[in-house]
Structure 1
Amino acid sequence: MPTLLPLSLRPLAAAALLCAGGAQAQETFKIAYIDPLSGPFANVGELMLNHIQFAVEDINAKGGVNKVPLQLLQFDSKLSAQESQSALQAAIDQGARAIITGGSGSSVVTALVQSAARHNQRNPGKEVMVLNHSSIDPELTGKACNFWHFMFDANTAMRMKAISDYIKTEPSIQKVYLLNQDYAHGKQWAAYGRSMVGAARPDIQFVGETLHPIGKVKDFAPYVSKVKASGADTIISGNWGQDMALLLKAAGDAGLDYRYFNHSAGGVPGTVLAVSQAGKGQLTWVAEWHPGQANRPAADAQAKAYKAKMGKDFLSPRIDITVRFLAAAIQKSQSTDPLKVATAMENMVLDTSIGKVRMRGQDHQLLLPQVVNTIAPVDGKRVTAGWEGTQWGFRTDAVIPAEQLTLDSACQMKRPERL
């Protein structure tokens, strides 16, 4: 690690001493990770960081990109737009050319994208890209789209479409309660749930709707009481991290056996354990892959390699894909200039552990399949392996190809003047 770098940067994969003949330090392509590493969602931030670190170190072990190593810097967003913007400036000052983020929520990522865009406009030739792995507000690739932003996850509308298509085949679902975190994504998840599920199943009754503070509720019993009083059999909730775990606990403690529909909670550490401890309820979520999914040998192999190296479970191929896509675009453009790299990334098709995926040039939305799956007890048939030390794993309910989820975009992309 260069001794002049501030300790707060803590480079994870510097590789800065790779040099010609060992006499001169070679250039690195610096990537800054900005996501929560403290507070109620620190475990989520660490999960994401580990996936990125694994990909960076794997690429560097194979010689880097065009013989240029990647260098990973890390910053704690603290789930704050202000902290994230300060981290962005610090990252730029240290020479970062790409920012990887997404776990801090849509409002924080939107602020980061706006700040990066302002910097890029004022500093042509010194631009920075924002690669978003988990913040799925459709506006980020819709009306608020920006040339410097790329989304590597299916957005909220795409995920809810996958769930709605599945709910259409489940007549047992009759009465739905919308219980969500009180911020942009929670409100969107509720709105898309009401509109898309309602369109897919006009017979369903929406019997209640509540928003609660994000990351601050310690006991969800009062909220569960409201759900019970409504007569609901199903909860559509965008909760994640401790907010989902505590909701499951409260419902389980009350002996309530709800069906939950969520965007990504099953991919967060502790969720399977929370479901098993609750003992009641079925959590159905949607992602690009789930552990143990059939007919995904490349993902299985990557999961084993990740476990062997990191000592943790591999959960999110899309986060790994974010780094691989960046490396492929650097390779394709034969440049480390973010403008050339971003241009190369547009409409790129990459063969990944979950199959071929494409970055749509129109709005910078990655098009990838979605798997509707449910956390369920191991039965030796559809669920063959336990997770997080439990006898609960993942049951595939439906695999929906990307083309079936490709929705229209309102993006009117403004391209940089120096293109």
Structure 2
Amino acid sequence: MTPNAKKVAFYTLGCKLNFSETSTIARNFQQEGFERVDFEEVADIYVINTCSVTENADKQFKQIVKKALKNNEKAFVAAVGCYAQLKPEELAAVDGVDLVLGATEKFKITDYLNDLTKNDLGEVHSCEIEEANFYVGSYSIGDRTRAFLKVQDGCDYKCTYCTIPLARGISRSDELQNVLKNAKEISQQGIKEIVLTGVNIGDYGKGEFGNKKHEHTFLELVQALDGVEGIERLRISSIEPNLLKNETIEFVSKSRTLVPHFHIPLQSGSNDILKKMKRRYLRELYVDRVNKIREVMPDACIGVDVIVGFPGETDEHFLETYHFLNDLDISYLHVFTYSERDNTEAAEMEGVVPMNIRSKRSKMLRGLSVKKRRAFYESQLGTTRTVLFEAENKEGYIHGFTENYVKVKAPWNPELVNTLHEIKLTKIDEDGSVRMEFVRDVVSI
């Protein structure tokens, strides 16, 4: 690091993909001689990686800008990411923002930093989203005990509620050799778990420049990664039900490194609403996927994304979703309250659901999620699992996750951080995590 190096700090909103990209952008800064510091510290430059999915994205963004300027009122503030691509002028007008970079520019941010003088109005460099047709590989490292490895970007689906194709462009993938190279680099850093991430990772294999031909399939990707030395665990972040094939499920069940944990977006348990959303499956296919997983991996953890309050969702439609999920052998829910997004078909649809009803439905499904997670954890008591411990000391306890995503706790011991242990799950604690007994010392799979 150069003496008197400029300091840079990062704040990431949104998904695992954003975390992997922030990490890569941070490494680019460090290669250019900048010193990375925590966001709470005084820095010369603050980079905020934005998200368009979170509710009140603009409000959240303004608060983070304020936080940065409180640390250093003369700091240079840059915004990148999905919201920066969708609403660049809006972000540029926020008091204290100096630079806004769209989808193609964010990885070249250091090229725009020759002059760190504060601007009266944020300078915008964004592209037409059609120009986002090249692929930049990235992964996060050094932030957590697990790494997020980006394998795919963009999406060709036209779901009526979603702005991601507008924010990230067409579906395109990293080359298989490059993914394997990144995975090896991660494993050489002593990181035990890699989470595969992207916008639509089941669509892995599409080349650059809108080439619809798949060079490789998602199954070939996980088969190749399973053979990388030094990787102890591979986790699939989220995969569309229509792209999760039987062959992949079967391979995961026999794999050396892939863990029995699936996160599969559903969005609605009503076929009427699924059609209005322009999802590429009906609920019957979803049941089929869950049944297939349970057949070959009875103890697998299955997480579900669901949206409540979509335009036209009547009480009957919602109850259809509720009962569908209640009857389904799944482990937890991620519940999203529908919120209107500019330039989406859904924003123009009739049958707007009042906010108070959206909130009520959301609360009901969150309650169901608590019940489902509890039942799943109870089904795992008495079993022997492998846990990977994380780095945080939370009120005298260290937490970790089993391969099938049960959250466990043990009295804090710094020597346990980033180590794998065989354990027996004993009882559920008041905070919802599971107590455990050690069976064997560090396991190297």
TM-score in terms of structure 1 length: 0.32
Highest CA radius of gyration, 1 or 2?
2
Structure of higher RCO (CA pairs closer than 8 Å, 6+ residues apart) = 1
